[in-house]
Structure 1
Amino acid sequence: MTTELPSAVPETHPRTKGDTLPTVAARNSVADDIAESDAGTVVDVASQWQLMRWKFSRHKAAVVSLWIVAFIYFVGAFAEIIAPQDPNRTSGRHQYAPPMAIHFFAEDGSGFAPHVHDYSFETDPRTYRKTFVEDPEKVIPIALFVQGDTYHFWGLFEWNIHLIGPVEPRQPFYLLGTDRLGRDNISRIVHGTRVSMSIGLVGVAVSLVIGLILGGLSGYYGGRVDHAIQRTIEFLRSMPTIPLWMGLAAAIPLTWDPLAVYFMITVLLSLIGWTSLARETRGKVMSLKNEDFVTAARLDGVSEFRIITRQLLPAFMSHIIAVTTLAIPEMILAETALSFLGIGLRAPVVSWGVLLQEAQNVNTVATAPWLILPGVAVVIAVLALNFLGDGLRDAADPYSHN
Structure 2
Amino acid sequence: MNQEKESIRLTLNKTSFEEKELRKLEKRRAKQEKYYMSSQWQLMMRKLIRHKLAVISFILLFILYTGAIFANFIAPQGLEDYSATYSNAPPSKIHFVHNGNFEGPFVYHYDISFDKFQNKTFIENKEQIYPVKFFAKGTPYKFLGLIKVDRHLFGIDNSKLPAGKDPVNLMVFGADKLGRDIFSRILIGSQVSLTVPLIGTMMSFLLAIIIGGLSGYYGGAVDIVVQRIIEVICSFPTLPLWMALSAAIPPGISVTKVYIFITVIMSLLSWPGLARTVRSKFLSLKKEDYVMAAKLAGVSDFKIIMKHLVPGFMSYLIVSLTLGIPGMILGETSMSFLGLGMRSPATSWGVLLQECQSVSNIAGCPWKLIPVLYVVVAVLAFNFLGDGLRDAADPYK
TM over 0.5: yes
Q: Distance in 1 between matches of 2:30 and 2:84?
A: 73
- Structure 1 position 365, deviation (Å): 1.0
Q: Paired residue for 1:44?
A: 36
- Structure 1 position 171, deviation (Å): 2.5
Q: Paired residue for 1:266?
A: 263
Larger-gyration structure (1/2)? 1
- Structure 1 position 167, deviation (Å): 2.4
The DSSP-based 3-state class of the residue aligned with 2:268 is: helix
The DSSP-based 3-state class of the residue aligned with 1:135 is: strand
Q: Distance in 1 between matches of 2:32 and 2:336?
A: 56
Q: Paired residue for 1:371?
A: 368
> Of 305, 308, 317, which aligns to 2:305?
308
Q: Distance in 2 between matches of 1:242 and 1:33?
A: 60
Q: Paired residue for 1:27?
A: none
Q: Paired residue for 2:88?
A: 96
Q: Distance in 2 between matches of 1:358 and 1:239?
A: 29
Q: Which has the higher helix share?
A: 2
The DSSP-based 3-state class of the residue aligned with 1:50 is: helix
Q: Distance in 2 between matches of 1:247 and 1:274?
A: 18
Confirm or deny that 1:340 pairs with 2:340: no
Query: Could you report, residue by residue, the CA deviation over 1:69-106 in whole angstroms, capped at 9, with x for unpaired residues?
Result: 11100000000111011122111111000001212x22
Deviates most, 48-57 or 245-254: 245-254
**What is the percent sequence identity of the aligned residues?**
47
Residue type of the alignment partner of 1:242:
L
The DSSP-based 3-state class of the residue aligned with 1:163 is: strand
Deviates most, 236-245 or 50-59: 236-245
Q: Paired residue for 1:138?
A: 128
Q: Distance in 1 between matches of 2:224 and 2:386?
A: 30
Residue type of the alignment partner of 2:256:
L
- Structure 1 position 222, deviation (Å): 1.4
- Structure 1 position 157, deviation (Å): 1.6
Confirm or deny that 1:117 pairs with 2:129: no
Q: Paired residue for 1:60?
A: 52
- Structure 1 position 325, deviation (Å): 0.6
> Of 194, 212, 216, which aligns to 1:215?
212
Instruction: Specify whether residues 39 and 129 from structure 1 end up closer, same or farther in structure 2 by C-alpha distance, changes over 3 A only.
Output: closer
What aligned pairs does 1:209-248 form with structure 2 within 5 A after superposition? 209-248=206-245
Q: Distance in 1 between matches of 2:133 and 2:198?
A: 34
The DSSP-based 3-state class of the residue aligned with 1:280 is: helix
Instruction: Specify whether residues 368 and 298 from structure 1 end up closer, same or farther in structure 2 by C-alpha distance, changes over 3 A only.
Output: same
What aligned pairs does 1:73-222 form with structure 2 within 5 A after superposition? 73-103=65-95, 105-124=96-115, 126-168=116-158, 170-222=167-219
Deviates most, 374-383 or 131-140: 131-140
Q: Distance in 1 between matches of 2:23 and 2:358?
A: 77
Instruction: Specify whether residues 218 and 344 from structure 1 end up closer, same or farther in structure 2 by C-alpha distance, changes over 3 A only.
Output: same
Instruction: Specify whether residues 303 and 82 from structure 1 end up closer, same or farther in structure 2 by C-alpha distance, changes over 3 A only.
Output: same
Q: Distance in 1 between matches of 2:149 and 2:193?
A: 24
Q: Distance in 1 between matches of 2:24 and 2:290?
A: 39
Q: Paired residue for 1:396?
A: 393
Q: Distance in 1 between matches of 2:227 and 2:306?
A: 21
The DSSP-based 3-state class of the residue aligned with 1:138 is: strand
Residue type of the alignment partner of 1:382:
V
Instruction: Specify whether residues 287 and 86 from structure 1 end up closer, same or farther in structure 2 by C-alpha distance, changes over 3 A only.
Output: same
Q: Distance in 2 between matches of 1:67 and 1:32?
A: 35
> Of 270, 277, 280, which aligns to 2:277?
280
Q: How many residue pairs get matched?
A: 369
RMSD after superposition: 1.9
Q: Distance in 2 between matches of 1:393 and 1:277?
A: 15
Instruction: Specify whether residues 392 and 32 from structure 1 end up closer, same or farther in structure 2 by C-alpha distance, changes over 3 A only.
Output: closer
- Structure 1 position 112, deviation (Å): 5.0
Query: Could you report, residue by residue, the CA deviation over 1:23-74 in whole angstroms, capped at 9, with x for unpaired residues?
Result: xxxxxxx999989855651111111011100111111100100000111000
Instruction: State the TM-score, normalizing by the size of structure 2.
Output: 0.89
- Structure 1 position 313, deviation (Å): 0.3
The DSSP-based 3-state class of the residue aligned with 1:145 is: strand
- Structure 1 position 143, deviation (Å): 2.2
The DSSP-based 3-state class of the residue aligned with 2:269 is: helix
Q: Distance in 2 between matches of 1:65 and 1:36?
A: 32
Query: Could you report, residue by residue, the CA deviation over 1:286-342 in whole angstroms, capped at 9, with x for unpaired residues?
Result: 121111211221121111111001100011111111100111111111111111111
Instruction: Specify whether residues 290 and 329 from structure 1 end up closer, same or farther in structure 2 by C-alpha distance, changes over 3 A only.
Output: same
